[in-house]
Amino acid sequence: MSNTYRAVEYREHGDSSVLEVGEREVPEPGPGQVRLAVKAAGVNPFDWKVRRGLFGPSMPGTFPAVPGSDVSGVVDAVGPGVTAFTVGDEVLGAASGSYAEMALASADNLVAKPAELSWADAAALNTGVTTAYRALALLKLVAGETLLIDGAAGTVGSVAAQIAVARGLTVIGTASERNHEYLRSLGVIPVRYGDGFLDRVDAIGQIDAALDASGRGNLPALIELTGGTERVITIADGQAGELGVHFTSGSAEEQVPGALAEGVALAAAGKLTLPVTTYPLAEAAEAQDESEEGHVRGKLVLLT
């Protein structure tokens, strides 16, 4: 095996032009870790926000930095104390710096990849599934209620909508008109965002809870529609604190145990679907640009 691997990296904050493909030394997995031969890596808005420096100078922690966390791949080596996986196992989940041919991951952040899922479909699941399960749990939804998802055609919105519909909720989702038929196919009532959005939603009926998955500045409208801040959650709007809205970023105490395994099982059974658009690893900049434009349907995935 070569002692180097290709990885997408950047040495300073900036637009997508700072991304380049470089060579890095193959790392050894530490205690509780596995090394993955990466097959596919998911692209998340978080990736380009860190690259742009929107979370401040302390993120990423060091340069050059490799973006990405969502991953699917084959276990290439196991570190001390790992018993859940062995070399050759096919897995998916979260790994540090997944925009690469190799990545290290905590074994606790991985689950087995079902044979029914392609590498790209497998890499698409982690963030969408874990975030959607977490948000729905925090909103304390019960069957018969109505949930509004702002940004329903994206990764988290798509997953949350399907889970909510399966749980007996009415789901209203905002999206551009080109994604309305897609939302209808998920059992979602689509609404166009933009000017007049609040009135269009209000005309449909009472909203019990709202999930902001877009970060487009609609929190004041979501608060008005639900009658307060108690049942509004955002995963994308940094102004949440000023408005008294809960921003959920994935802290350990908010995680839903078993969420990833459950979501993966649903996907393998064809009960949870996520449209995937793929790019080769070398076109990570183009993939992040598409993500930043904000009209992605489903998930963007890099293939190694």
pLDDT in tens, 97-148: 999 999 999 999 999 999 999 999 999 999 999 999 999 999 999 999 999 9
> Whole-angstrom Cα distance, residue 278 to residue 280?
7
Position 1 pLDDT exceeds 80: no
> Whole-angstrom Cα distance, residue 100 to residue 303?
9
| CB 82 within 8 Å of CB 32 | yes
Position 2 pLDDT exceeds 80: no
pLDDT single digits (tens) 20-78: 999 999 999 999 999 999 999 999 999 999 999 988 888 898 999 999 999 999 999 99
pLDDT single digits (tens) 272-286: 999 999 999 999 999
Q: Could you give all domains of the chain from N- to C-terminal order, each with its CATH number?
A: 4-125+274-303 (3.90.180.10), 128-252 (3.40.50.720)
Residue 41 is predicted with a pLDDT of 98
The token pair at 73 is 């791949």
Regarding pTM above 0.85, the answer is yes
> Whole-angstrom Cα distance, residue 95 to residue 273?
22
> Whole-angstrom Cα distance, residue 151 to residue 292?
13
Banded model confidence at residue 298, pLDDT cuts 50, 70, 90: confident
Mean pLDDT of the chain, nearest integer: 94
Banded model confidence at residue 6, pLDDT cuts 50, 70, 90: very high
The token pair at 215 is 């970060």
The sign one gets for the Cα dihedral 242, 244, 248, 253 is positive
Q: At what angle do helices 126-139 and 259-268 cross, to 10 degrees?
A: 120
- 191-213: average pLDDT: 89
Position 300 pLDDT exceeds 90: yes
Instruction: State which amino acid sits at residue 125.
Output: L
Residue 198 is predicted with a pLDDT of 83
